[in-house]
């Protein structure tokens, strides 16, 4: 189990370098495989990585993109992770990618699980995974101290889990096993608070600090 921590001189450098790392790993994968999959975080931190990646010279039509997790809201909502992905990544060259939207429009995320499982399974293992993290040490929609998270962290967890116990909207998340089986894993964090949170997480149990469950063979990309 190894954690590689890269500290960048500034955020701009981080976003550009990570985008170029991701596109390099995807094109490497495409050299010997028919297709590649790219699984990306929601939230606000990755916006510029998405923008920079959208112009990458890649055979995007052979790349399948999906999010780590999604909030159960319409695609035009301010809270939609897909909205950000559509406006920042799936434009320019990357518009040719095959995008699997985790939000299906069904009333509850549980109803979407069987069909989504069928659509995502052919794209596993994930070729390139980027995770984000909150200052509370959650990642994807796996939050500290919740019974749903305990299930999502289990070694035999299903591919997807609805998350309905958080305040606000329901969510859907990929669980720990498929995320951890990714061939290339990255964690994108910025700012001193998240760096401290990551250090704290390394001494805690994954139920208290879910990111802890993902720290094997991962590259952490950080800038102030």
Burial 12-21 (b: 16+ CB within 10 A, else e): eebbebbbeb
Query: Tokens standing for 202?
Result: 């390394």
Question: Closest distance between ligand 6PG and the C-beta of residue 67, in Å?
Answer: 7
Pick the binder of ligand 6PG from 69, 72, 113, 148 (CB under 6 A).
69
Decide: is 134 part of the binding site for ligand 6PG (CB under 6 A): yes
Q: Which C-beta is closer to ligand 6PG: that of 23 or that of 69?
A: 69
Decide: is 101 part of the binding site for ligand 6PG (CB under 6 A): no
Decide: is 140 part of the binding site for ligand 6PG (CB under 6 A): yes
Distances (CA, A) of 156 to 144, 150, 160, 163, 204: 19, 11, 11, 17, 22
Pick the binder of ligand 6PG from 45, 80, 127, 149 (CB under 6 A).
45
Q: Are 64 and 98 in contact (CB under 8 A)?
A: yes
Question: Closest distance between ligand 6PG and the C-beta of residue 190, in Å?
Answer: 8
CA 10 – CA 63 distance, rounded (Å) = 29
Residues that bind ligand 6PG (CB under 6 A): 41-45, 68-69, 71, 81, 132-134, 138-140
């Amino acid at each position: 189990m190894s954690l590689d921590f890269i500290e960048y001189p500034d955020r701009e450098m981080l976003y550009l370098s990570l985008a170029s790392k991701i596109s390099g790993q995807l094109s490497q994968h495409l050299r010997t495989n028919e297709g590649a999959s790219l699984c990306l975080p929601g939230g606000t931190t990755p916006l510029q990585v998405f923008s920079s990646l959208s112009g990458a010279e890649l055979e995007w039509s052979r790349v399948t993109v999906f999010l780590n997790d999604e909030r159960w809201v319409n695609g035009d909502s301010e809270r939609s992770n897909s909205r950000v992905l559509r406006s920042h990544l799936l434009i320019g060259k990357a518009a040719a990618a095959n995008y699997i939207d985790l939000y299906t429009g069904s009333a509850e995320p549980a109803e979407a699980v069987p069909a989504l499982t069928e659509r995502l399974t052919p794209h596993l293992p994930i070729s390139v995974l980027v995770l984000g993290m909150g200052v509370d040490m959650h990642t994807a929609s796996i939050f500290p101290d919740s019974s749903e998270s305990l299930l999502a962290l289990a070694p035999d967890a299903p591919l997807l889990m609805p998350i309905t116990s958080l305040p606000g909207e329901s969510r859907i998340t990929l669980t720990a096993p498929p995320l951890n089986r990714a061939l290339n894993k990255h964690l994108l964090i910025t700012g001193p608070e998240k760096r401290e949170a990551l250090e704290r997480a390394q001494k805690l149990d994954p139920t208290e600090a879910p990111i802890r469950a993902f720290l094997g063979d991962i590259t952490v990309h950080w800038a102030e």
